[in-house]
Amino acid sequence: MALFIPRFRSRSGLAKAAVVTAALTMVTFLPSAAGQGQNPEGPPQSGPAEVLPLENVVPGMQATAWTAFVGTTPEPIPVEVIGVLRNTWGPGQHIILAKLGGKAARTNVAGGMSGSPVYHDGKLLGAVSLRFSTFSPDAVAGITPIDLMLEINEFDAGRPIDTKIAGDSKGASAGSLALASPKPVAGKLGLAERVWNASTAELPAGSYMMPIETPLTFSGMEPAVVDAFAGFFRESGVRVMQGGAVGTSAGSSRVTGAGALNPGEPVAAVLISGDSSATALGTVTYNDGKRVLAFGHPMFNMGPIEMPMATADVLTVLASAFRPVKFANSAEIVGALRQDRHSGIMGVLGENATMIPVRVKVKSFGEHDALIHQKELRFNVFQNQKWTPPLMMMTVFNSMFGLNDYALESTFRLKGSIELQGDQTIDLQTMQAETGTPIPAPMALAGWVGDKFNTLFRNSGEFPVFESVNVSIELLPQRRHALIEQASVDQRELRPGDTVTGKVVLRPYRGQSLTESFSVTVPPNAQKGVLRLLVSDAVTLDRSRKFAVDRNRLLNLTETVAALNREPVNNRLYATLLQQSPTAHLDDKTLPNIPLSVLTVMRTSSRGRIVIEGHSVLAQTSMDFDWIVSGSHSITLRVK
């Protein structure tokens, strides 16, 4: 029976494979002495290696793969070549099909084996990177030829058109930036909704050659948190599991990384470090003493990246015909990953990767504001426009999880800040309680934080460089949600300069009604006529402006920060005087009292980015409220 092997589309701009003109070719990224290389009597070592050209690979050829089953020392695996699958990964990208023996025959092709180097007669053939289907009785694997992996080095200074690199703001005009700006992949769904929806979906396993799942190992995370995010990560081809922590603080590594990550040894990509950690596990394919190749397939296929690279220690390999996997602890950071490409990942020993320092303080209060419990957690999260938002959400969610004081009737109050390079700050303030939806309040609150990062990364101007994130979360003992029931004022006939005083009645989730006083002053230049006093929550007040901002993808970083800081807060009560004259919301700008002639011109030139309201804000006041406010009430006033 013939095997069905779908063709994988290759990345655009893939360099042509180097032509191998000799049976033995010396491969090296950096100049090295020719006397160094592989030890035929033991595990392979770092240094230049001889390459076996793909044209010399024939069915029945016997080879040896190296991978760690316990600890860090690679063990040999007998390999029998079945044949070469032509154009399996795209035009000119062939895959070697092979059957593994030895211990791998029992464990099957396990997650974490990605990148295990394969040698024939001392010559490097490629890396174990693919597996065939699930429930297969044979350990059939796909091997990525080494020449495909060596192409990664050619991209080290490259940049895909749709990827922004931290610290790189050169070489793009406003027009080109607009084209490169990433489009939202989830429509109007927030990050919490995307994570929740993914947690209930299982991706079916197909009967074809697929990249070996990358084990994404979490430590310091509650099992329920890991399970909640498992579906979200599974959509990117990674399998989440519990494991051990990174031993060295992110941002620091060995001075040279010398002696680390020999071929066949486990390697970990560090996504989160600190009180909680997340690492992606694979195996080193090649190490020239400075640069390291691993995996043999993409980790997340992100192109240029900046992520800490660490050693790892394998505890065991779980044998399974369904999803075999390595269990491992990450150990010491020894360098930084720089490329995540179609045929593997590449890192540099001794270099540092800048991460985002995050501090989360959590306090729980009882009746009469009595402090019951508090803790402080510190993390480092790697910077990437796709992965930073969900990882930030996950760390915040995990910080709130497992609190004995939490109950369905609780409310979370969050305050904090996001500090960006260039003295730019985003202030964070919100409250969250259970709303009756399937998404729990802690996840909804963490998703709100993650969405701020999504918005920052979507700016069209430059990659945001984060200096720090500080969040304070307080757990309050009751469900603090209040609905605006009615509002009244002491007088409806006013003169310019008068102050309107009034009261608003709010109906809490449970308990007696709450009455609050407010006042707002009519501007001295107010014209005679009818005004409308709107007593409202943040959503009602901000609907049109937010719609205009969401429609526009041309905001630069400074404008995006300003737009985020102008967002109303859900635990604040707003009293707004409105007059009947149009307001235009264009990009991040609010333009009140626009003449109709100007409005007509703006509609023509704005290309659909303008949102019009039939009123303009004349005056506004707000008051902090220790409840989540919802609803609105309108009162008609007259200026004499």
Q: What is the pLDDT of residues 192-213, one digit of tens each?
A: 877 777 665 554 444 467 888 8
CA–CA distance, 577 with 633 (Å, rounded to integer)? 12
Backbone φ and ψ for 234, nearest 5 degrees, come out as -60, -30
What pLDDT, in 10s, does the model give residues 540-552?
A: 877 755 655 565 5
Rounded CA-CA distance 285/304 in Å is 19
Question: Between vectors from CA 461 to CA 457 and to CA 464, what angle results, nearest 5°?
Answer: 40
User: What is the enclosing helix (H) or strand (E) of 603?
Assistant: helix 596-605
Instruction: Give the per-residue pLDDT at 138.
Output: 85
pLDDT digits (tens, 9 = 90+) for 310-323: 999 999 998 887 78
Which of these, 564, 504, 508, lies nearest to 533 by C-alpha position? 504
State the average pLDDT over residues 90-104: 92
Q: How many CB atoms neighbour CB 139 within 10 A?
A: 26
pLDDT of residue 244 exceeding 60, the answer is no
Of residues 192, 181, 161, 235, the one with CA closest to residue 389: 192
Please list the residues that pair with 330 across neighbouring strands. Answer: 312
DSSP state of 75: E
Q: How far apart are CA 126 and CA 89, in angstroms?
A: 15
**Parallel, antiparallel, or unpaired for β 632-639 and 493-494?**
parallel
- What is the C-alpha to C-alpha distance for residues 619 and 592, in angstroms, rounded to an integer? 12
Give the Cα separation of 129 and 496 in Å (integer): 75
HSE, CB side, 13 Å, CA atoms: give it for residue 555: 25
- The maximal CA–CA distance of the chain, rounded, in angstroms, is 99
Closest CA to 358 of 430, 316, 416: 416
Is a pLDDT exceeding 50 seen at residue 370? Answer: yes
* DSSP 8-state assignment for residue 276: S
* pLDDT > 90 fraction of the chain, expressed in percent and rounded: 48
Tokens of 560: 């995006």
Q: How confident is the model at residue 355 (pLDDT cuts 50, 70, 90)?
A: very high
What mean pLDDT is reported for the chain?
Answer: 80
What is the predicted pLDDT for the residue at 211? 87
Going by C-alpha positions, the residue among 144, 162, 141, 163 that lies closest to residue 152 is 144
Distances in Å between the Cα of 178 and the Cα atoms of 116, 162, 171, 459, 552 are 41, 10, 13, 9, 10
pLDDT tens track for 269-313: 999 999 989 999 999 999 998 999 999 999 988 899 999 999 999
pLDDT attached to residue 170? 36
Question: What six digits make up the tokens of 505?
Answer: 């009645």
Q: What is the pLDDT of residue 34?
A: 32
DSSP string, 204-271: PPPSSEEEPPEEEEEESS-HHHHHHHHHHHHTTTEEEEE-BPPSS-TT---SS-TT---TTSEEEEEE
pLDDT mean over 524-529: 87
Give the model's confidence band at 7: pLDDT under 50 very low, under 70 low, under 90 confident, else very high: very low
Phi, psi of 488 (to 5 degrees): -145, 160
| pLDDT tens readout for residues 9-29 | 333 333 333 333 333 334 444
DSSP designation for 86: T
Residue type at 602?
A: M
Mean pLDDT calculated for residue range 607-627: 78
For the segment 49-69, the average pLDDT, to the nearest whole number, is 94
The Cα 616–Cα 319 span in angstroms is 67
Per residue, what are the HEC states of 107-122?
A: HCCCECCCCEEEEECC
